Structure 1
Amino acid sequence: MTEHAPVTVLAFDTAAPYCAAAVLSDGQLVAQAEEPMQKGQAERLMSLCDDLLTSADLSFDALTAIGVGIGPGNFTGIRISVAAARGLALGLGVPAVGVSSFEALRYGHDGPCATAITARREQLYYQRFDGTDAEAPILVPVQALPEHAGPLFGATGRAPTFPIAEAIARLAADRYKTTTERPAPLYLRPADAAPARDAPPVILP
């Protein structure tokens, strides 16, 4: 008789000023951490993941799937996590599942609701859910939230049911068998960095 191989998911997110990760094994949370930080996620992410796996007596080779937060949020932070997830998935030969911050905030609530994420400049990233359907996410002023049914989760609303990395892990565990696309960043506005104004150098004949 073949012994059951546990479904083990490593999930992480750096779309906001933190480095968050969680390990889920057969539906049970076995390790998680969230470290606030304005910068340094690129240097900390993989060591944090390694620390959590070690604390759970697991290795990267034990992973069934990778879950990653795709934003919206900090432009550079999102790229850090998505690139790490793609690299791990390729190296380990496992699927990587992208999960939006909206989905993670809503996880655990099945009815109508809305989700909001701080977007700076007195704005919010916002998405409304009507049962199982979701409207397209938008960028709105803090003082002009659209009307919605059910609770609001996230910025200016209630705290989510699950910590961000755990929610991503649970959603990835539900979806990894049917995932067909690689994770891709969810950007709702251009990056803050502006292109250089100086003219490019010219090679003289």
Structure 2
Amino acid sequence: MILGFDTSGPWLGTALYSDGDIRASHYVNMAKGQAEHLMPLIERTLADADASLADLTAIGVGIGPGNFTGIRISVSAARGLSLALGVPAIGVSGLEALAFDAPQPTLTVLAAPRDQLYVQRHGDGVAKGPALIARDDLPLWTVPGITLIGQDSPVLEEEFGIPHAPAAYAPAAAIARIAATRIGTEQPRPTPLYLKPADAAPSRETGPRLL
């Protein structure tokens, strides 16, 4: 069984994948409070499938791009569970998750602050990204026959004339399915995918001297 979860945006998603299908899943719109609700929702998802943490063989986790705090919550939880359970943790980007089982070429998109977008282009011979771009530069990422998938894609289709389609799966479900395809291959430890600098300015105060 593979547990997938994601808190990289204003949501909290979990999914349990086994034997080629999703056994249980939950998706909650949640801009704040993910740290407090992640483990209870994981436990609820497992209970729905009459499973426990001991049944897990791998963990798939969303690594962003997206909200700094949200990404850290999921990645930290995945690393902790991986260590405690002795199972691999596999990081999957949200842009990859959107493209899973989608027609290609595909342009996946996630909302970013300050009228920007996180984008990635998928397809043989046209793959590009991931990157952070200005919203108005989205047409520069198109190629003939491309489909737009992701946040606000209907609005973006109306604005730029790029055909859109819904994602095949909710984020956590796609992450769990992708993780299943990577089991048995060497995978780096999940690391946050940050495509923009932190909003907070570095402190001007000198920290305490370490002895």
**Paired residues for 1:4-153 under 5 Å:** 8-131=1-124, 134-145=127-138, 146-149=140-143, 150-153=146-149
Deviation, 1:202, is 7.6
1:133–1:95 CA distance, 2 compared to 1 (3 A): farther
Distance 1:132 1:31 in 2: 36
Q: Tell me the matched-pair count.
A: 195
Which has the larger displacement, 127-136 or 110-119?
127-136
1:201–1:97 CA distance, 2 compared to 1 (3 A): closer
Distance 1:132 1:68 in 2: 27
Deviation, 1:38, is 1.2
2:184 matched to which residue of 1?
Answer: 177
Contact 2:103 / 2:147 at 8 angstroms: preserved in 1?
A: no
Percent identity for Structure 1 against Structure 2: 50
- Give the number of the structure whose residues are more often helix, by fraction: 2
2:206 matched to which residue of 1?
Answer: 200
- Deviation digits for residues 115-157 of structure 1 (CA, Å, limit 9, x no counterpart): 1100021000011112387322111111220232310111342
Distance 2:125 2:4 in 1: 23
- Deviation digits for residues 44-66 of structure 1 (CA, Å, limit 9, x no counterpart): 10110011101110000000100
Distance 1:176 1:40 in 2: 31
Deviation, 1:77, is 0.4
Task: Kindly indicate whether residue 206 of structure 2 is the aligned counterpart of residue 186 of structure 1.
Answer: no
1:137–1:202 CA distance, 2 compared to 1 (3 A): closer
Counterpart amino acid of residue 200 in structure 1: T
Distance 2:83 2:22 in 1: 24
1:109–1:131 CA distance, 2 compared to 1 (3 A): farther
1:202–1:142 CA distance, 2 compared to 1 (3 A): closer
SS in 2 for 1:45: helix
- In structure 2, the gaps of 5 or more residues are 154-164
Aligned alpha-carbon RMSD (Å):
1.7
TM-score of the aligned structures, taking structure 2 as reference length: 0.87
Contact 2:79 / 2:190 at 8 angstroms: preserved in 1?
A: yes
Distance 1:162 1:193 in 2: 33
1:97–1:164 CA distance, 2 compared to 1 (3 A): same
Deviation, 1:26, is 1.1
TM-score of the aligned structures, taking structure 1 as reference length: 0.90
